[in-house]
């Protein structure tokens, strides 16, 4: 009976070893599929972000130039200098070149660069060399279709083409050239992760071989023990000595197995840590969503400084005021990075604040955008009581809800677009309600809007993460609630918090 049980144990070891190897290969192939998804998420995020930049540039250019753009850039140096500085403002490590081109009037099918973001002669020469190898049919396609185009060649060089339309006519094209540095960095990190997977697979294969060897040794050992047992029947002394050897051998094998199991657990921990790389796409998308408005505000403020300086109307007090605004916007961008970096840490700082302080801080960023779009803002901040919470995270929730309301009002072209923000206390709960007159949320999807990756704006670069993260912050981080319902005018979002965090 004991011999049969040993045979079964040997089979169990072998099956376990095969399962380990099989599982490692499944994980490896799953990683290969995920690797491509990460590239797609990064590409989609880049397109969303560069589309936002292009929209801001087009809005700024069409606001200044309402006539023939090519003629204005050729004849008015102030306008050309202003637009050129506007382009340079958006050049970062992510985007190599930004330039505006248009059809040449005297050449059929020809195009010329009107203005670009180059800062040195070397950059300008590199830009024109790149432009000369560009397929001119792509420019013609944008003119004919009046729509934006994202291009990527076999070398993975990517470009985004955005038409500038005046009076339903394409007058020029904004071209934004991506750098390849980000793609290289992501490829390098994924390759490191793939190398780690290969090491894990190699480790499991070694374990498999070890277990086969262990099974063979164990089988031989059992035969030897049986023979020894027969011999030990004749001598109690020999039996005692051999028994001690067997016990010692068993202890040694047990220690070796424990050691290998511990090593296996360490590998599992490493794999869990490496899996956090998959959150990179979501972080980039959320940061880009929060940065759009401050970047537009910085661009508009710096453009105002340049324009007033060019026409000699820039006064000292005005310059100081505009420079302070740029500093405030820049500090907000830095704080946003810190907020998102702290989001996944457990040591976030709890501060004492009020809804009035939180709302005023957020409005310092979005109020200009609301005024530009003729959206009326009604504030009914009746509650001045203070409470303890994660202030920076609640600001992110408020900002996201206001921006969503703004998007809905612009999309539905509501008459007298209005956003109402009200604070009050109800049953010892601190309430902040943000509502709009955009018509509300369809009843068949209102229960899904807080689900991850669910979005009504997928065709407009929505990620489906904003409301999901907002509810996570309000409920899991701050111990409160984030609710939604429709009233007679539109959607109403309610944030309910306690005086102190109860998580």
Quick one: pLDDT band at residue 188, thresholds 50, 70, 90? Answer: confident
Arithmetic mean of pLDDT, 151-179: 80
pLDDT above 70 for 333: yes
pTM of the predicted structure, to 2 decimals? 0.38
Domain regions of the chain by residue span: 346-497
- The CATH number for 346-497, chosen from 3.30.1650.10, 2.130.10.30, 3.30.565.10, 3.30.750.24, is 3.30.565.10
Residue 220 to residues 102, 135, 239, 465, Cα–Cα distance (Å): 84, 73, 19, 60
Q: Give the integer Cα–Cα distance in Å for 396 and 473.
A: 9
Report pLDDT for 235.
Answer: 67
Q: Give the integer Cα–Cα distance in Å for 296 and 403.
A: 14
pLDDT above 70 for 374: yes
Q: Which of 93, 75, 87 is nearest to 118 (CA)?
A: 87
Neighbours of 187 (CB within 10 A): 14
Quick one: pLDDT band at residue 375, thresholds 50, 70, 90? Answer: very high
Q: Which of 117, 135, 136 is nearest to 127 (CA)?
A: 117
Report pLDDT for 155.
Answer: 61
Tens of pLDDT, residue by residue over 197-236, are 677 777 767 777 777 777 777 777 777 777 766 776 676 6
Neighbours of 344 (CB within 10 A): 10
For the chain, the distance separating the N- and C-terminal CA atoms, rounded to the nearest angstrom, is: 56
Arithmetic mean of pLDDT, 413-420: 90
């Amino acid at each position: 009976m004991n011999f049969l049980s040993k045979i079964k144990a040997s089979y169990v070891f072998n099956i376990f070893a095969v399962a380990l190897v099989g599982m490692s290969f499944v994980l490896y192939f799953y990683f290969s599929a995920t690797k491509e998804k990460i590239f797609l998420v990064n590409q989609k995020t880049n397109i969303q972000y560069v589309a936002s930049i292009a929209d801001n540039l087009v809005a700024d250019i069409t606001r200044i130039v309402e006539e023939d753009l090519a003629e204005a850039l050729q004849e008015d140096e102030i306008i050309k200098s202003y637009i050129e500085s506007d382009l340079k403002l958006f050049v970062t490590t992510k985007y190599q070149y930004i330039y505006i081109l248009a059809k040449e009037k005297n050449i059929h099918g020809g195009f010329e660069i009107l203005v670009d973001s180059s800062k040195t002669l070397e950059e300008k020469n590199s830009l024109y060399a790149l432009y000369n190898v560009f397929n001119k049919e792509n420019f013609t396609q944008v003119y004919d279709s009046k729509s934006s185009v994202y291009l990527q060649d076999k070398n993975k060089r990517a470009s985004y083409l955005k038409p500038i339309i005046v009076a339903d006519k394409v007058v020029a094209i904004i071209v934004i050239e991506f750098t390849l540095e980000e793609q290289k960095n992501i490829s390098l990190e994924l390759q490191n992760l793939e190398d780690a997977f290969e090491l894990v697979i190699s480790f499991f294969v070694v374990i498999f071989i070890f277990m086969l060897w262990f099974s063979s040794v164990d089988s031989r050992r059992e035969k030897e023990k049986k023979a020894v047992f027969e011999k030990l029947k004749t001598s109690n002394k020999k039996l005692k000595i051999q028994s001690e050897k067997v016990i010692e051998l068993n202890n040694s094998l047990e220690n070796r197995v424990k050691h290998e199991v511990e090593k296996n657990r360490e590998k599992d921990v490493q794999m869990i840590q490496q899996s956090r790389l998959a959150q990179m796409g979501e972080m980039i998308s959320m940061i880009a969503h929060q940065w759009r408005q401050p970047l537009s505000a910085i661009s508009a403020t710096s453009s105002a400084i340049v324009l007033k300086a060019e026409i000699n109307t820039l006064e000292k007090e005005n310059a100081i005021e505009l420079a302070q605004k740029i500093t405030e916007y820049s500090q907000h961008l830095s704080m946003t990075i810190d907020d998102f970096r702290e989001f996944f840490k457990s040591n976030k700082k709890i501060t004492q604040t009020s809804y009035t302080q939180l709302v005023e801080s957020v409005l310092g960023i979005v109020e200009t955008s609301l005024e530009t779009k003729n959206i009326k803002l009604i504030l009914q901040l009746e509650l001045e009581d203070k409470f303890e919470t994660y202030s920076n995270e609640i600001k992110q929730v408020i900002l996201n809800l206001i921006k969503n309301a703004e998007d809905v009002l612009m999309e539905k072209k509501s008459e007298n677009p209005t956003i109402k923000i009200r604070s009050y206390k109800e049953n010892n709960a601190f309430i902040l309600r943000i509502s709009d007159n955009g018509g509300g949320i369809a009843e068949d999807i209102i229960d899904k809007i807080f689900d991850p990756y669910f979005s009504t704006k997928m065709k407009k670069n929505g990620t489906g993460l904003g409301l999901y993260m907002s509810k996570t912050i309000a409920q899991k981080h701050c111990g409160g609630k984030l609710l939604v319902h429709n009233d007679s005018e539109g959607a109403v979002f309610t944030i309910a918090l306690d005086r102190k965090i109860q998580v």
